[in-house]
Structure 1
Amino acid sequence: MNPAKGQLTVRGIVIGCIGCAIITAASAYTALKMGALPWPIIFAAIISLFFLKALGKTNLNEANVTHTIMSAGAMVAGGLAFTIPGIWIINKAPVVDWWQMLIVALAGVILGLVCTAAIRKHFIEDAALEFPIGEAAAQTLIAGDTGGKTGAKLFGSMGLAGAFCALRDWFGAIPAMLFGNAAIPGVAFGVYLSPMLLAVGFLVGTVAVSVWFLGALIGNFGIIVGGSALGFWDTATGQGITSSAGMGVMMGCGVGVILKNILPKAARMLKAGAASSTFRLVAAPVVHEGVQPNKRRMRLTAGLAALAVAAVALIVSIGLSLDPLASVIVVLLAWVTCAMSAQSVGQTGIDPMEIFGLIVLLIVAAASNVAQVQLFFVAGIIAVACGLAGDVMNDFKAGHVLGTDPKAQWIGQAIGGVLGALVAVAVMVVLVTAYGADAFGIEGAFVAAQANVVATMVSGIPSVPAFATGLVAGCALYMLGLPVMMLGLGIYLPFYMSLTAFLGAMAKVGYDAVCKRRRAKLSPDEAAAREKAQGETGLVVASGLLGGESIVGVLIAFASVAMGLSL
């Protein structure tokens, strides 16, 4: 009997693919525009269950596999958006072809899928890591009792955000910034009128966004304004120090992840991986009483996986002009970085995929004579693989809680990953065609913060002492358990983005306070049920605002390309 029956279904694949295309496009836009990418898993879980129930009888495992397909492309888009635009930032021209981006994306997807097939048992069953995002998705499905109101809230908020975006960006009827004329030398002050950025602040959480905003205050009003006022440096120098320090803090967080979460358990992970590299996920051996597992089938599957990895090495060597040594380094270190990504996501819920890409980029640059553009390809492949690995492992955790067949989930992830690669590349091509390469960068329409970090590491850091200080501080603060990645993001990003996200977090504080007051007179059981419903409403509406602006932003870019306009 097929254990995946009733889990991986035709209608689930269709719903998952439609959702995957939409979420991937929105995620690519969000990652480039906001310099951040919230996990879409819980949102995808709610939507999957909603539409499956609307079509008739379903079960949680079918919803889980459907949401696995739906969310897969988001992290593929993130891996591309966090690395490849660095090429445009440096060259100020779209010098990379669409087929090269597609090779990067598909190579990362294949490596991520093969690696997660091998490490699933260790991280999900043996190590039993928390994977808070995957656990939350499972609990969301268990507690999910969606109905017509959920759909109305979601699509209503998406429509409002989309209409606002069109009025702002297409018709010019709404200004993009409030208080943008405030004359503060070196500080991009203002409130960005963006439902998406407000939603990001609402969804990320008050504590994390407060740390983000603290970083913005330190970087802009501490280093730039304060340092300039005290005569330590001029405004331009202060801006270079700020950006370098922000990059250093984010890199330091990545180093901290490795030192705190990865290295202490590296030997055990490698030993477990060597002992369990049977790819039982993909080809579970049939066991009967008194009969040994089908070793031949397991060897065949492992052989196919090895063949896929070898094919990736060959394709990136030929298609991306990487020399053989660089290709081998990328393929071998993809296993290491995917395990690092799984460990980080499992313990913290954070997947610093671009940091892992930077680490491999630097190793390749030191070991091989690789051209500048090819270094971005290296970082892109690793970032996509690690992003997909984080998403896959979260989904496996949800499946482990719900009893979903991992093979069905892996197949769903493969479908969503490949579709996500196609959609993400299409969106990236459309955006650079519509807006031009100059639109990407810290002062452009698309800040592409992570790609900017990669570009700076490749082309040269403005202030090496500030970067080194930030690196040490970021690592130390992460070791102390502080949300230092958000601090570095605040130091690095333009102030108006941090301020707007902070206003979104404050809206969450106000919303929670109002909801708590309304629950005060209810019985404990009624209050608990109302709290869950109110929490879901906030999540759905905020996700709709984020998705609405993202989707319409992509549509505007598509329309501008079709009409030959320059945005």
Structure 2
Amino acid sequence: MSDKKITPFISPEDDLPQITFKAVVLGFILSAILAGANAYLGLKVGMTVSASIPAAVISMAVLKLFKESNILENNIVQTAASAGESLAAGVIFTLPALILLKYWLDFPFMETAAIAMFGGILGVLFTIPLRRALIVESDLQFPEGVATGEVLKAGTEGGAGVKTIIQAGLAAAAFKLSQTGLKIFASSVGGSVKAGKSIFGMGADLSVALLAVGYIVGLNIAVLIFAGGLISWLFGIPIYMAVSSPEEISAIVGAAEGYDAALAIWSQKIRYLGVGAMVVGGVWALISLAKPLVDGVKSSMAAVKELKRGGGGNIPRTEMDTPINIVGMGIIGLAIPIFIVFMYVIDIEHLAVSSGAYWGAITFGVVFSLFAGFLFSSVAGYMAGLVGSSNNPISGVTIATVLATSLCLLAILGSQVDFAADMEKATTAAAAAIIVGAMIACAAALAGDNLQDLKAGQLVGATPYKQQIMQVVGVVAAALVIAPILSLLFNAYGLGGVFPREGMNPEEMLTAPQATLMQSVAEGVFARNLEWSMIIIGGLIAVAIIIMDEILKRKGSEFRTPVLAVAVGIYLPVELSVPIFLGGMIAWGAAKVVRSRAVAKGDNPEEAETNAERKGLLFSSGLITGEALIGIILAIPFALFESTDALRIMPEGLGWLTSLLGAGAAVCFMIWLYKVAVKKD
């Protein structure tokens, strides 16, 4: 076996302190904070962004206050902190569906924490035997892992990045406070045009966090997300309205008009195109990765055998993983608490099936969680290496998981219960499918993030097993805080059309797009009213996109069309796609200007572009962190006063003014982001 030669920043012979008391405490705290911030962002827009870089910068700033600190200690902190962000993604994509199903009335602490914790630890264990194959011996880039490694290296020379993140964070927090709290700036602008029976709607969310998301993912992904939005809103909604009867349309939109009517059509019908696209995209990812996955497992096992034959004496510190026997025992051991969680959360009385069928369903859930969890963790890890943690196919594989689980449970329980005739039992069965999906989603989310962190660790010279320990620490920290945070957000804003009390403002609601899809898919399978026609059309759209991507791949094109990015755009409201697209355009424009300037001066254009990207990345990270954190803070007074108008100072009825002010401020942030990226060093 020949390893790819990478010279780490810290030599394997230099074993600097890594897991220190201050690193564990700081990693634990940052994991909890970033879990909350990403929970808010994910529930709002259906996307999360890797927290490794802001965590690394914050760690460097804090640890510099101590007499002794080092780059490996900083890396340990960001490893734990980013685990919290990833766990939040797995949780918020699934468990809010239980609220939407009315199976839960809030987020119970023990159940939520247990599902998150056991699923997250599974994700850590699943990726340990894949580290060598996917990181050491493959050509995968792991873009966010490489970027984190570079930020950590740069941190040894100074903390200029901290100032950038703080400035952006404070500005974004002030803007978000003025939008959601004080109501000075509008949160979105939009309108529609009617042509015959059809409505063409378009809008833009004035969120600087979404602008930052677009900058981070880049033009290619941003264009595809926007294209997905156009598929739904420029084609899907108008075509559906044109071919449907007035009675069908009226039953969906009610008294709504204009953009609100288009939104109702999208919510109840067109978004299922996204379900079909995500299912096909998830299956395609599994097919594409079958050979690399098998090869990865084989090479990992071979590495373990080499270790045993050599006695471990010649294994460098930078190649020491958690022993495979501990990994195996950990996975098998987790089957017991997972079984208990499923038994405790899934109510046999509501299902009203025989004890044999009930225990069979619970056993199936545990076995499927372990088997599908490893498979999808491998997919998520591989995709993270290709496109980064922020774009890994957690939504796609989770939807595929929920659909497959629902169909299997229907086969197991359907002979005893007519779910189509009893919605209470259908809801309970759908909840069971969601809970299994949540366990797998948490594992897959952690897998992509863990491998990014291990890639950063490879570059700086970290010890893998120490990082793996800290990943578990980060999982535990996030699992302990995620239930209270979700409960706070739910009670302050509402989720996916479900509100904890009457009189709440639907415009402030967190859309929870993935969880809404999970609920619709699971419930639709058991109630036998799933929008199969829309799902099939969405699947066919995905097939066309896959064919296009394969053609581009064979032509060697730099622009590619990964199907899951388009699927995200299809099931997001179009106004969320617009700022993402604009952020991608800013990233592309800034890179082009910086490269041209470097060529004209005779400098290295690649180096100049990398420096510009890093500055924009740090600024974007600050925008996301600031908006997300103020969103959580605002949830406190909103929940206490049971109103999102608790801090309002702008009188109602001035929508034109708030829209004008909001759009103007958003443009200022765009210009600021661009100038930060192109600014000369």
Extract unaligned runs of 5+ from structure 2. 1-11, 253-263, 315-321, 347-360, 414-427, 500-505, 551-560, 646-681
Whether 1:162 and 2:173 are equivalent positions in the alignment is yes
Identify if the C-alpha distance between structure 1 residues 305 and 117 changes in structure 2 by more than 3 Å, giving closer, same or farther. Answer: same
What whole-Å deviation, never above 9, does each CA across 1:509-542 have from its counterpart, x for those lacking one?
44445545665654415x6665444322211111
Aligned to 1:458: 522
1:116 equivalenced with 2:141 (yes/no) = no
User: 1:309 & 1:507 partners in 2: Cα distance?
Assistant: 46
Please say if 1:421 is aligned against 2:462: no
1:298 to 1:173, Cα distance in 2 relative to 1, 3 A: closer
1:251 pairs with 2:264: no
Give the whole-Å Cα distance in 1 for the aligned partners of 2:539 and 2:394: 17
Larger Rg computed on CA atoms:
2
**Deviation by residue 1:306-338 (Cα, 9 ceiling, x = unmatched):** 553233333323332372332232233322222
The answer to whether the 8 A contact 1:104-1:380 is kept is: yes
Helix, strand or coil for the counterpart of 1:524?
A: coil
C-alpha distance 20-5 of structure 1, shift in aligned 2 (>3 A):
same
Q: Alignment identity in percent?
A: 26
What secondary structure is seen at the aligned counterpart in 2 of 1:327? helix
Q: Residue 398 of structure 2 corresponds to which residue in structure 1?
A: 357
Q: 1:399 to 1:438 in 2, by over 3 A?
A: closer
Alpha-carbon distance in 2 for matches of 1:61, 1:88: 41
Partner of 1:91: 102
Q: Distance in 2 between matches of 1:251 and 1:271?
A: 28
What amino acid is aligned across from residue 20 of structure 1 in structure 2?
Answer: S
1:477-536 CA-partner distances (Å, limit 9, x unpaired): 3363522222122222112111232233333344445545665654415x6665444322
* Equivalent residue number for residue 445 of structure 1: 509
Partner of 2:438: 380
Deviation for aligned residue 1:561: 2.6
1:312/1:285 Cα in 2 relative to 1: closer, same or farther (>3 Å)? farther
Is residue 336 from structure 1 mapped to residue 415 from structure 2 by the alignment? no
CA contact (8 A) 1:176 1:192 kept: yes
Q: Tell me if 1:310 matches 2:335.
A: yes
User: Is the CA contact 1:278–1:298 (under 8 Å) kept in the aligned structure 2?
Assistant: no
Q: How far apart, in 2, do the equivalents of 1:36 and 1:372 lie?
A: 24
Q: 2:222 matched to which residue of 1?
A: 209
Residue 83 of structure 1: how far off its partner (Å): 0.9
Q: CA RMSD in A?
A: 3.5
- CA 11–180 in structure 1, closer or farther in 2 if over 3 Å, else same: farther
1:328-382 C-alpha deviation (Å, 9 max, x unpaired): 3223332222223223323443422233333343443315447221221111110
- Give the one of 76, 92, 102 matched to 2:113: 102
5+ residue gaps in structure 1?
A: 290-296
- How do 1:274-353 and structure 2 match up within 5 A? 287=312, 301=326, 304-306=329-331, 308-321=333-346, 323-349=362-388, 350-353=391-394
CA distance in 1, matches of 2:609, 2:398: 40
Q: Structure 1 residue aligned with 2:573, among 484, 489, 494?
A: 494
> C-alpha displacement at 1:187, in angstroms?
5.5
Aligned residues: 556
* Residue of structure 1 in register with 2:91 after alignment: 80
Classify the secondary structure of the residue corresponding to 1:323.
helix
1:144 shift after superposition: 4.8
The reply to whether residue 551 of structure 1 matches residue 629 of structure 2 is yes
Does the 8 Å CA contact 2:100/2:519 hold for their aligned counterparts?
yes
> Any idea what the Cα deviations from partners look like across 1:216-273, whole Å, max 9, x if unmatched?
2221111222553577997559635521212211222111101112x23454345456
Structure 1 position 220 matched with structure 2 position 233: yes
For the 8 Å contact 1:93–1:438, the answer to whether it is kept is no
Q: For the structure 1 residues 472 and 453, does the alpha-carbon distance in structure 2 shift closer, same or farther, using more than 3 Å as the test?
A: same
Partner of 1:467: 535
Identify the match of residue 192 of structure 1 among 180, 189, 205. Answer: 205
Q: Determine the C-alpha separation between the residues in 2 that align with 1:300 and 1:496.
A: 49
Alignment map for 1:266-277 (pairs within 5 Å): 266-272=293-299
* Partners of 2:200 and 2:639 in 1: CA distance: 33
Q: 1:293-318: CA deviations, max 9, x gaps?
A: xxxx9687357425532333333233
Does the residue aligned with 1:6 lie in a helix, a strand or coil?
A: coil
Matched residues in 2 for 1:231 and 1:565: separation? 38
Q: Distance in 1 between matches of 2:534 and 2:192?
A: 29
Alpha-carbon offset, residue 419 of structure 1: 0.7
Match of 2:545 among 467, 477, 483: 477
Q: Does 1:67 align with 2:78?
A: yes
Separation in structure 2 between the aligned mates of residue 284 and residue 342 of structure 1, nearest angstrom: 29
Q: For the Cα contact (< 8 Å) 1:23–1:71, is it kept in 2? A: yes
Q: Deviations over 1:396-428 (max 9, x none)?
A: 122223321011101111111111122222211
User: Per the alignment, do residues 520 and 332 of structure 1 end up closer, same or farther by CA in structure 2, a change over 3 Å counting?
Assistant: closer
1:411 alignment partner, SS class: helix
1:173 match: secondary structure: coil
Residue of 128, 133, 147 corresponding to 1:136: 147
SS of match in other structure, 2:202:
coil
Label 1:79 to 1:483 Cα distance change in 2 as closer, same or farther (>3 A).
same
Distance 1:4 1:145 in 2: 17
Aligned AA (1:249):
A
* Cα distance, 1:285–1:383 mapped onto 2, change above 3 Å: farther
Structure 2 Cα separation of the partners of residues 560 and 515 of structure 1:
44
* Distance in 2 between residues matched to 1:540 and 1:454, nearest whole Å: 33
- Once the two structures are overlaid, the 10-residue window that deviates more, 320-329 or 149-158, is 320-329
Secondary structure of 1:371's aligned partner? helix
Cross-structure match for 1:503: 582
- In 1, are the aligned partners of 2:278 and 2:395 still within 8 Å (CA)? no
Single out whichever of 224-233 and 365-374 deviates more from structure 2. Answer: 224-233
Secondary structure at the counterpart of residue 31 of structure 2: helix
The residue identity in structure 2 corresponding to 1:107 is: F
One of 26, 32, 44 as aligned partner of 2:43: 32
Question: Per the alignment, in what secondary structure is the counterpart of residue 310 of structure 1?
Answer: helix
Distance 1:278 1:156 in 2: 51
User: Residue 52 of structure 2 contacts residue 148 of structure 2 at CA under 8 Å; is this kept in 1?
Assistant: yes
Shift of 1:564: 4.6
Mark the CA change 1:224 to 1:37 in structure 2 (over 3 Å): closer, same or farther.
Answer: same
Distance between the aligned counterparts of 1:228 and 1:194, measured in 2?
A: 30
**Counterpart residue identity of residue 216, structure 2:** L
Do the aligned residues in 2 keep the contact of 1:94 with 1:437 (CA within 8 Å)? Answer: no
* Contact 1:122/1:272 (8 A) holds in 2: yes
Question: Does structure 1 residue 561 correspond to structure 2 residue 639?
Answer: yes
Distance in 1 (alpha carbons) for counterparts of 2:17 and 2:433: 44
What is the CA–CA distance in structure 2 between the aligned matches of 1:104 and 1:3, rounded to whole Å? 39
TM-score under structure 2 normalisation?
0.73
CA contact (8 A) 1:81 1:451 kept: yes
Instruction: For 2:235 and 2:192, locate their aligned partners in 1 and report how far apart those are by CA, in whole Å.
Output: 21
Contact 1:313 1:328 in 2 (8 A): no
**Aligned partners of 1:299, 1:45: CA distance in 2, in Å?**
29
CA distance in 2, matches of 1:256, 1:269: 19
Q: Report if aligned partners of 1:278, 1:302 keep a CA contact under 8 Å in 2.
A: no
Structure 2 CA distance for aligned equivalents of residues 429 and 77 of structure 1: 13
